[in-house]
Structure 1
Amino acid sequence: MDIQSASSVVLQALTQATSQDTAVLKPAEEQLRQWETQPGFYSVLLSIFNNHLLDVNVRWLAVLYFKNGIDRYWRRVAPHALSEEEKSSLRAGLITNFNEPVNQIATQIAVLIAKVARLDCPRQWPELIPILLESVKVQDSLQQHRALLTFYHVTKTLASKRLATDRRLFQDLASSIYSFACSLWNHHTDTFLQQIYAGDQQTALSSLERTLLSLKVLRKLTVHGFNEPHNNMEVMGFLNAVFERLKQFLECCRQVGPGSLCREKLEKTIILFTKVLLDFLEYHPCPFIPLIQRSLEFAVSYVFTEAGEGVVFERFIVQCMNLIKMIVKNDAYKPAKNIEDSKPESLEAHKIKTAFFTHQTLTEIGRRLVSKYFLLTEEELTMWEEDPESFAVEETGGGSWKYSLRPCTEVLFLDIFHNYSQTLTPVLLEMVQNLQGPSNVEDPVQMLMKDAVYNVVGLTAYELFDNVDFDQWFKNQLLGELQVSHNRYKLIRRRVIWLVGQWISVKFKPDLRPLLYEVILSLMQDPDLVVRIETATTLKLAVDDFEFRTEQFLPYLESIFGLLFQLLQQVNECDTKMQVLHVISCVIERVSIQIRPYVGCLVQYLPLLWKQSEEHNMLRCAILTTLIHLVQGLGAESKNLYPFLLPVIQLSTDVSQPPHVYLLEDGLELWLATLENSPAITPELLRIFQNMSALLELSSENVRTCFQIINAYIYLSATDFLQNYAEALCRSFCELLRDITTEGQVQVLKVVEIAIKVSPVLGSHMFQPVLPAVLQGIVEGERYPVVMSTYLGVMGRILLQNSGFFTSLLTQMAVEFNQEADQLLGSMIEMWVDRMDNITQPERRKLSALALLSLLPSDNSVIQDKFCGIINISVEALHDVMTEDPETATFKDCMLMSHFEEPKLTDDEEPPTEQDKRRKLLALEDPVHSVSLQQFVYEKLKAQQMLMGDQGFQALMETVDTEIVRQLQEFIQGM
C-alpha cells in the first residue's frame, strides 16, 4: 500500500465510517475490513491519527482500527501477520512525540503502545522504556503528561504477564527504574502540595494528575516487581512514605473543602494510596508484617476515633475497614494449632496483632462499629419511605463488601467478632441488656441504636449460640416488640422479624413455631411494605428449616398463603416479585398436596405475571420454579393448568427462541414434572416433544433431564408417543451413540430398554436400528461392565417379550457377519454366561435367567450345547431372588408383586406421582415381577424332558456340575 496515495483513500473510508447514515457507513466498514490484511494499512492509520488537524472522530476510529489490528496481526504466527519491517517502522512512529491534544485519543494511543509492548518489549523494542523515562522529564506539561500516561499503561500491561520468564523481565525492569519512579512521584507530589496551598487550583490539578499517574506506576512496580520486597530498602521506604502522604492528602481534603476543583482527583489519589497497601498485603503477606502495626494504627485512628472527623469519606472508610479485615483474617498471621509448628513470621505477626488489639481497643472498635456504622443512614431511611422495595431487596441482598460501606461494616464486625469473641461477646450482651423493654418512639436515636444492636445479634447468631437463650428472649422481649403497632416502631418490627429469621436454624424450639406463625400472620398484614417483605423472607427461612413440621403449619396455611399472594400482587419491582415467588415456591414445596385447596388465585394470576415479565428473564425463571412446585403439589389436578403451562414449556425449551438461554434448565424441569404428574396424554402435551431433537443435538449438561422426559412420555403413553416420534428419536440416538461417553451410552440404552419393556412389539420395531450394535456388543464382549449390563438388559427384554423379533434380528445379523445364525446365538449365550457378574441389579439378573430359559424347550444342538450355562445362570438368579419361609421351609420368589397398594405415607414422605403409579401398574405385568422364577425353571426343564425323553434329558443334565444340580433340586423340590 503506497502511503501517499493510500492515505486519502483510507481517510475517506474512515470519514464515511463515522457517518450516521448506514448506507454510507456499511460499505466503508466493509472496505476497511478488507484493507486490514494489506501491507502498509497500519502505517496509513498511524499517519492519520497522528495528524492533529483531522476530525477527532476520524482520528479516534483510526486508533481503534490500529488497536484491533495488534490483537489480530501483530504476532509473528498470526495469519496475515505484519512484516517485521512494517512493525519496526510502526514502533518508531508510535513514540516519536507525546503531544496528543485530545485526552480520549491519548489514552487509546497509550493502551495501543502497551499492547505492542506486551508482545515486543524488551527484546524487539529495547528503546521504549528509555524513551519514556526521558520523555517524562521534559518541561512541556502536555508531553510530560502523555509520556507518563503511556509509561503507566506499559507498566500495567507488563506487570500482568504471568509466565516465569516475563515476570523475571518485569522484575529486572522494576529494579532498574524504581528509584526514578519514586523520585518522579515525590517530585509531582511535592509540586502539587505547594501549588494547592498557594491557591493555584488549576495548575495544582495538572500536577495532581501526574502524581496519580506516577503513583499508579509505582503501585504496579511495588506489588509485582520484586520477589523479596522486604529486602529492598527503597520499596519499604516507599510503603512507609505512603502513610505520611496519606495524612498530607487527607489534611489537604480538609483544607480545600468539598467544592474544590481538585476534590474528586484528591479522593481518587487517597484511594490509590490505600490500594497500594491492600495489594501489597494481598500479594506479599509476610513482607507486609513490618507494616501491620502502622496500618492498624492508621486505619483505626481515622475510622474509629475523632482523627477522622471532617476528612474521611465513604470509599476511604471502606478501604480502611478492608485493610483491618485482611490483617485480622489473614491465615499467614495466625499461629498453627500446635505452636511449635508455627513459622517465625506468623508468630511475629500474631504478636503484633495481639499487642495492638487490647481489650480496650477491641471494645472501642466494637462499640463504634455498632453505634456509628451499623446505624441506618438518613439516605437509607429516605429510601425506605420513597422506594420501599429497593430498600427491602437491597437490604436482604447486600452489596459487595469490597466497595459498599454497609456490607463492609458487617463483614468486618463478623471477622473481628469471630477472632476476638471472648472480648466482644460481653460488650455486645451489655449493649443488648441496655436496650431491654420497648423503645421510646419519640427518641429516634434510641430506635436506630436498637436496630443496629439487633442487626449485630442476628449476624453473630452462630457465635452467640452458648451465650443467648433465644427462646426466652423471644417470648419475654421480642414478641412484645412485634406487637407495638406505632408507625415509627416499624423500624424495630422489621428488624426483630429479620432477627428471628437469623436464629431459626441456630436455636429456636420447635414448640415455639405456632407462636411464630401467628406473628408472621399478623406482620404479613403490617401497614408497612418493608415489614411485610421482611416477614415473607423469615417465613421462607422457617419453612425451609430442618425442624419444620407440616402439621404445626397447616392451621395457618390458608391465611398466610393468601397474604403471600396479596404481597406478590402489591409489589412492582422484578427483584421483589422474584423474592416473594421464592417464598411461595418454598411453602408449596414443603406442604406438598396440602396446598391444593388454596392455589386458585395464584393459578389465575401467574399467566398475567408471565405476560408482564416478557423483558425480565430472571423473573420468568422464578415463575418456572414456582410452577414446578405447583405442579408437584397439584399432582393429577395440574392438567387444569395446561392451557397456560404447555405454551410456557414450549417457549422455554425451544432453542430457536432467544429466551431459552435463561429458561431452558427450569423449563425442562417443569416439562418433566408436568409429565410425571399428568393423568393422561393430550395432543398438546405430545406436540411439545417436537422441541426435543434440537435439545439432544445440544448434548449439554441438560441431556440427563431430556432422557428423563423421554422416559416419562414412554410411561405416559408408549403407543402414541412411539408412533409419532420414535423414528426421529432413533435417528438422534444413532447420532449420539457415535460420540458420547459410556455414561451417555447407558442413558440412551436405558430409554430403549424402557420402551421395549413398556411396549415390547412397538418398542423393538421402532428402535430396530440401534439393536444390531447391542447384539454385536454382547457377542464381542463389551469391556465396560455397566454398558454390558445395559446391553444384556435390552436383549433380555427382546428375547423374553418379543422372541419373534429376536429371531429376525439374529438372522439379519448372521447375514451381515457372514455367519450361521446358530453360531451367533451360541456366541451370545456363551458371552452372556461369562459376563453375568457384570449385572448387579437383582431385577436384571432375574431377567437374564428368564430370557435364556425362554429358549427352552429346544432341540437346537447349539442351545443344548449351552444348556449347562443356562442352568448355571438360572441357579445364580434363584439364589438372588428366592427367600426361605422359616415356618413352612419353602422358598418364595421375593420379586413377585400380586396387587397394587396405595402406600401409607408419613408427613415427611412425598406422595406418589402419577408416573410412580404407572410404573407400579406396569411392574404388575412385567415378567420379572409376575412370573415365579422357581416355577418357570421347573416348567422349562419339564418341557425339555418331555421333548427329549428321560434318557436324553438325563444325558443333558449330566453336562451340569453336580453341586449346581443339587442346589437346583433344593429350589424346585416338591413342585
Structure 2
Amino acid sequence: MDLNSASTVVLQVLTQATSQDTAVLKPAEEQLKQWETQPGFYSVLLNIFTNHSLDVNVRWLAVLYFKNGIDRYWRRVAPHALSEEEKATLRAGLITNFNEPVNQIATQISVLIAKVARVDCPRQWPELIPTLVESVKVQDDLRQHRALLTFYHVTKTLASKRLAADRKLFSDLASGIYGFACSLWNHHTDTFLQHVCTGDETAAANSLERTLLSLKVLRKLTVHGFVEPHWSAEVMGFLHAVFERLKQFLECSRSIRAENMCRDRLEKTIILFTKVLLDFLDQHPFSFTPLIQRSLEFAVSYVFTETGEGIVFERFIVQCMNLIKMIVKNYAYKPSKNIEDSSPETLEAHNIKMSFFTYPTLMEICRRLVTHYFLLTEEELMMWEEDPEGFKTGGDSWKYSLRPCTEVLFIDIFHEYNQALTPVLLEMVHNLQGSTNMEDTSAILIKDAVYNAVGLAAYELFDSVDFDQWFKNQLLAELQVSHNRYKPIRRRVIWLIGQWISVKFKSDLRPMLYEAIRNLLQDQDLVVSINDFEFRTDQFLPYLEPMFTLLFQLLQEVTQCDTKMHVLHVLSCMIERVNIDFSIRPYVGCLVQYLPLLWKQSEEHNMLRCAILTTLIHLVQGLGADSKNLYPFLLPVIQLSTDVSQPPHVYLLEDGLELWLVTLENSPCLTPELLRIFQNMSALLELTSENLKNCIKIINAYIFLSSSEFLQMYAADLCQSFCELLKDITTEGQVQILKVVENVLKVSPILGPQMFQAVLPSVFRGIIDGERYPVVMSTYLGIMGRILLQNATFFSLLLNQMTCEYRQEVDQILGNLIEMWVDRMDNITQPERRKLSALALLSLLPSLN
C-alpha cells in the first residue's frame, strides 16, 4: 500500500464508515475488512489517527481498527501477520508524540501501545520504557499526562502476564523503575496538596489526576513486581507512606466538598490507597506482617472510633472492614493446633494479631458493629414503606456494600474470638428483656440490631443460649405484637427463628411456630411475610390449608421476580414434603390455574421460569396420574424448555428435562402430544454429554410406556443418533446408550434388532476384539445374549454379515465369539445377566429335537 495515495482512499472509506446510512456504512465496512490483511494498512491508520486536524469520529474509528488489528495480526505466528519492518515503523510512530488532545482517543492509544508491549516489550521494543520515563518528566501538561496514562496501561498489561519468564522480566522492570515511580508519585501528591492549600481548584484537579495514575502504576509494581517484597526497603517505605498519605487525603476531604470538581477523584484515590494494601495482603501475606499492627490501628480508629467522624464515606468504611476481615481470617496467620508445626512467620503474625485484639478492643468493635452499623437507617426504613419487596430482596456482595460487609465482619470476628465476645452479646440480649416502648424508635432499632447479631452468631452461641425458653417466654409474644412500629421486630424475630431452627429448636415447639407464621402471612407488610421456614409433615398438616392459601395470595400480590421466586420456592417445598400421601391435592387447584398466567408474564425473566418449572416438577409428583389434566399447559412448557433452537433453553433445559422425565413417570398412557415432544431429542443428544443421563432416562421411559408406537416413529432417528454418539463418548455414556438398546430388545425381541441393526456390528466387534472395560463387555454380552436367545434368525443374519466383514468362515467366527464369551463370563457380575449368557450359550448346543 503506497502511503500517500492510500491515505486519501482509506480516509474516504473511514469517513463513509462513520455514516448513519447503512447503504453507505456496509460497503465501507466490507472494504475495511478486506484491507485488514494488506501490507501498509496499519501505517496509514497510524497517520490518520495521529493527524489532529481530521474529524474526531474518523480518528476514533481508525484507532479502533488499529487496536483490533494488533489482536489479530501482530504476533509472528498469526495468519497474515504484519511484517517485522512494518511493526518496527509502527512501534516508533506510536511513541513519537504523546500529545493527543481528545481523552477517549488518548486512552485507546495507551491501550493499543500496551497491547503491543505485551508481545514485544522488552525484547523487540527496549526503548519503550525509557521513552515513557523521559516523557513523564516533561513540563508540558498534556504530554506529561498522556505519557503517564500510557505508562499505567503498559505496566498494568505487563503485570498481568503469568508465565515464569514474563514474571521475571516484569520483576526486573519493577526493580529498575520503582524508585522513579515512587518519586513521581510523591512529587504529584505534594503538588496536589499544595494546590489544595492555595485553593487553586483546576490545578489541584490536574495534579490529582496525575497522582491517581502514578499510584495505579505503583500498585501494579508493588503487588506483582517483587517475589519477596519485604526485602525491598523502597517497597516497604512506600507501603508505610501509604498510611501517612491516607491520613493527609482524609483530612483534605474535610475542605473539599461534594460540589468541588476534585471530590469524586479524591474519593477514588483514597479507595485506591486501600486497594494497594488489600492487594498486597492478598498476594504477599507474610511480607505484610510488618504492616499488620499499623493496618489494624488505622482501620479500627477510622471505622470504630470518633477519629473518622465527618470524613469517612461508605466505600472507604467497606474497604477498611475488608482489611480487618482479611487479617482476622488469613490462613497464613493461623498457627497449627500443634504450635511446634507452625512456621516462625505464622507465629509472628498471630502474636501481633493477639496483642492488638485485646478484650477492650474486641468489646468496642462488637458494640459498635451491633449498635451503630447494624441499625436500620432512615433511608432503609423509607424504602421499607415505599418498596417493601425491593427492601427484602436488595443487597449485594459483602465486598462492596456496607450492610453485608458489616455482617460478614461480625461473623468472622465472633467466630475467631467467640469466648471473649459471647458474654458481650449475651449482656446486650439481657438488657433487652421485656416489652419495648412503641414510641421509642431507637430502642426498637437497637433490639432489631441485637437480634440480628444473635441470628448471625447462632452456631457460636449454641451452648450459651437456651433458645427454646427464649422463644416461649419472649420471641413468640413479640411475633404477636401488631403495632405498626413493631414491624422491624416481627420481621427480625421470624428471621432469627429461621437462623436457629436448624441449630437448636425442639420439635414440639413447631406447632406454636406454624400458628405464628400463619398469622404473619396475613400481615399486610410484605417484608414480614416473605420469610422461608422449615416444617415437619406430621406436625404441619393441620396448618396446610391456611398456609397454602395465604402463600398463594402472597404469590399473586407480589410484583418482583425475586419475590415470586422466593414464594414459589416455599410452595414447592410444601408440595414436595406433603405429597407422600397426596394430602396436597385438594389445595393446588388455584395454583394450577395461576401458573399459566405467571408463565406468560415471565417471558423476559428466565430465572422465574426456572422456579415455575421446579414447582411444576413437585406438582406433577404430587398429583401422580391426575397430572394428565395439566397437559395443555405442561407439554408446551416442556416443548419450549427443551428446544435447543429457542434461546431460553440455555436457562430452562436442565429443569425442563427433569419435568419431562417426571411427567412420563407419572403418565398413565402415552398421548400423541407427549409423543410429539420427542422430536426435540435428536438435537439434545447432539448438544452435549452434560444432560445425557436425563435424556437416556427419558428415552427409557418412552420405551416402557408404549414401545410399539414410540419405536415405530422414532427408532430410525434414535439409532442414527446412537451411532454418532458411540464414535466419541465416555465409557459410562457408552454403557447408558447400550442399555437403551438392550431395553428395546427386551420389549420388542423380534422387531428391536432390525430397528437398531446399525448399532449391532460394533457390539459384535467389541466382543470379538475383547473389549477391555468389564462393564462395557458385560453390556455387549447382554445384548448379544438376548438376540441369540430371543431372535435366532436375526443372529444368523448378523453372523453372516460379520463373516463377510472379517472374511472368515461362519464356524471360525462363531468359534471366536464363543471362546471370547466364555473367557469373559467373569466380567458379568449381575446374576440375571450371567443366567442370560448361560442360556444363550446353551441355545447353541445341538439338540435331538
In structure 1, the partner of 2:181 is 181
Which residue is equivalent to 1:845? Answer: 834
Question: Map of 1:598-747 to 2, 5 A cutoff?
Answer: 598-747=587-736
CA positional deviation for 1:465:
0.8
1:550 aligned to which of 510, 524, 537: 537
Query: Per-residue deviation at 1:822?
Result: 4.1
Among 549, 567, 574, the alignment partner of 1:587 is: 574
Which residue does the alignment assign to 2:559? 572
Q: Deviations over 1:784-839 (max 9, x none)?
A: 11011001111222223333333333344334444444444333333222211111
1:816 & 1:104 partners in 2: Cα distance? 70
Q: Which amino acid aligns with 2:445?
A: L
Give the whole-Å Cα distance in 1 for the aligned partners of 2:321 and 2:542.
Answer: 48
For 1:590 and 1:217, how far apart are their aligned partners in 2? Answer: 58
Q: Which residue of 1 is the match for residue 280 of structure 2?
A: 280
Could you say what secondary structure the match of 1:272 adopts? helix
What TM-score comes out, normalization by structure 2 length? 0.98
- Deviates most, 777-786 or 261-270: 777-786
CA distance in 2, matches of 1:769, 1:38: 52
Are the counterparts in 2 of residues 722 and 762 from structure 1 also a CA contact under 8 Å?
Answer: no
User: 1:423 and 2:412 equivalent?
Assistant: no
**One-letter amino acid matched to 2:122:** P
Rounded to whole Å, the distance in 1 between the matches of 2:766 and 2:175 is 67
804 and 578 in structure 1: CA distance in 2 versus 1, 3 angstrom threshold: same
Within a 5 Å distance, the mapping from 1:78-227 to structure 2 comes to 78-227=78-227
Residue matched to 1:476: 473
2-side partners of 1:334 and 1:632: how far apart? 49
**1:326–1:833 Cα change, 3 Å:** same
CA distance in 2, matches of 1:819, 1:558: 74
Cα pair distance change 1:808/1:310, threshold 3 Å: same
Q: Which of 487, 498, 501 is 1:501 aligned to?
A: 498
Partner of residue 73, structure 1 = 73
Contact 1:730 1:769 in 2 (8 A): yes
Q: Which amino acid aligns with 1:837?
A: D
Q: Does structure 2 conserve the Cα–Cα contact (< 8 Å) formed by 1:375 and 1:452?
A: yes
Question: What amino acid sits opposite 1:361 in the alignment?
Answer: T
Q: Deviations over 1:618-669 (max 9, x none)?
A: 1111111111111111111111111011111111111111111111111111
Shift of 1:855: 4.1
1:754 aligns with: 743
TM-aligned CA deviation for residue 583 of structure 1: 1.4
Cα gap change, 1:84 to 1:823, in 2 (>3 Å): closer
What do the CA deviations read for 1:287-310 (whole angstroms, capped 9, x no partner)?
111111110000000000000000
Residue 712 of structure 1, CA deviation: 0.4
Partner of 2:388: 388
Query: How far, CA to CA, are the matches of 1:137 and 1:819 in structure 2?
Result: 87
Q: How does 1:508-519 map to 2 (within 5 A)?
A: 508-519=505-516
Q: 1:774 aligns with which of 738, 753, 763?
A: 763
Amino acid at match of 1:123: R
- What do residues 250-303 of structure 1 show as CA deviations (whole Å, max 9, x unaligned)? 000012223222111110110011111111111111111111111000000000
Summarize deviations over 1:682-710 as a string: whole Å, max 9, x none: 00000111111111111330111111110
Mapped partners of 1:773, 1:145: distance in 2: 70
Give CA-to-partner distance per residue, 1:288-344, whole Å, 9 cap, x none. Answer: 111111100000000000000000000000000011111111111122211111111
User: Which one-letter code corresponds to 1:34 in the other structure?
Assistant: Q
- Secondary structure of the residue aligned to 1:594 is coil
Per-residue displacement from partner, 1:123-159 (whole Å, max 9, x unpaired)? Answer: 1111111111111111111111111111111111111
Inter-partner Cα distance in structure 1 for 2:799 and 2:661: 36
Q: CA deviation at 1:54?
A: 1.2
What does the per-residue CA deviation read over 1:589-627, in whole Å, with 9 as the maximum and x for residues that have no partner? Answer: 121232222111111111111111111111111111111
CA distance in 1, matches of 2:528, 2:537: 25
The code of the aligned residue for 2:605 comes to H
Residue 356 (str. 1) matches residue 350 (str. 2)? no
Name the CA shift for 1:46/1:760 in 2 (closer, same or farther; >3 Å): same
SS at match of 1:345: helix
Query: Which amino acid is 1:594 matched to?
Result: S
The one-letter amino acid of 1:297's match is E
**1-side partners of 2:23 and 2:680: how far apart?**
39
* Residues in 2 aligned to 1:780 and 1:209: alpha-carbon distance in whole angstroms: 73
Root-mean-square deviation (CA), in Å?
1.3
**In the alignment, does 2:556 pair up with 1:559?**
no
Deviation at 1:781, TM superposition (A): 2.4
The residue identity in structure 2 corresponding to 1:734 is C
Corresponding residue of 1:765:
754
Give the distance between the partners of 2:526 and 2:814, measured in 1 at CA: 75
Residue identity opposite 1:796 in structure 2? G
Q: Give the gaps of 5 or more residues in structure 1.
A: 544-548, 860-943, 948-975
Question: 2: CA distance between counterparts of 1:258 and 1:778?
Answer: 80
Match of 1:26 in 2: 26
Q: Distance in 2 between matches of 1:812 and 1:512?
A: 73
Q: Please, which moves more after superposition, 558-567 or 236-245?
A: 558-567
For the 8 Å contact 1:400–1:407, the answer to whether it is kept is: yes
Which position in structure 1 is the counterpart of 2:323? 323
1:450 aligns to what? Answer: 447
Separation (CA, whole Å) in 1 of partners of 2:219 and 2:761: 68
Structure-2 separation of matches of 1:124 and 1:809: 67
Q: Give 1:774-853 correspondences, 5 Å limit.
A: 774-853=763-842
- What is the correspondence of 1:528-539 to structure 2 with a 5 Å cutoff? 528-534=525-531, 537=532, 539=533
Counterpart in the other structure of 2:246: 246
Partners of 1:375 and 1:181 in 2: how far apart?
44
Gaps in structure 2 of 5+ consecutive residues: none
Counterparts in 2 of 1:625 and 1:199: CA distance versus 1, 3 Å: same
* Identical columns (%): 80
Q: 1:161 to 1:780 in 2, by over 3 A?
A: closer
* SS of structure 2 residue aligned to 1:768: coil
SS at match of 1:791: helix
* Corresponding residue SS for 1:769: coil
Q: Deviations over 1:840-898 (max 9, x none)?
A: 11221222233334445x24xxxxxxxxxxxxxxxxxxxxxxxxxxxxxxxxxxxxxxx
Give me the whole-angstrom Cα distance separating, in 1, the residues matched to 2:99 and 2:639: 60
Q: Distance in 1 between matches of 2:614 and 2:574?
A: 12
State the alpha-carbon separation in 2 of the partners of residues 810 and 237 from structure 1. 84
The whole-number CA distance in structure 2 between the counterparts of 1:843 and 1:485 is 67
Q: Is residue 719–residue 762 contact of structure 1 (8 Å, CA) maintained in 2?
A: no
Aligned mates of 2:793, 2:458 — CA distance in 1: 70
